Chain A
């Protein structure tokens, strides 16, 4: 079965640089979620989109922005990167169903040097 695809899988950036993470949801899933997992931490919700509109917002820094495109893929843009942004970034997608069960991608490991 098709899963959530994230790219790149690994990314190394320097402080103050920008990064763009991409997420391709499972086909026919119209909702996308972004989570950040720091080392040894539990995943923290950043932001979500439903039908290309932002549906919920969590602890996402102002330096980050995200959007969902017409083909339902999503991009997380991160600017002025800081050392503390080093983390695993997960994208999840869910169908428009009553359970809204979220299926996670493999994650993008971002390292900021």
Chain B
């Protein structure tokens, strides 16, 4: 029973365009959401987070949107760059952090 779902295993986006990665969750007790980025042969690294009391958090080219009523969050990357090619994990926290399966983002030249 997956509490955090990333339904798109992969996504390809042209360089310079917007990348939108989606994540759905089922547990309404989650109070904090995070995105991690993972390159091959490396561990995941923290990217951006958002508290459940907010609906948007922005950090440079990265913005996370939270829609609590829909139990949905998304990560927007604008503009997309070649170095953004990686696997992105959505995660949510109640008493521990639960990760989704990840979405592989390919930025096309």
Q: Do A and B bind each other?
A: no
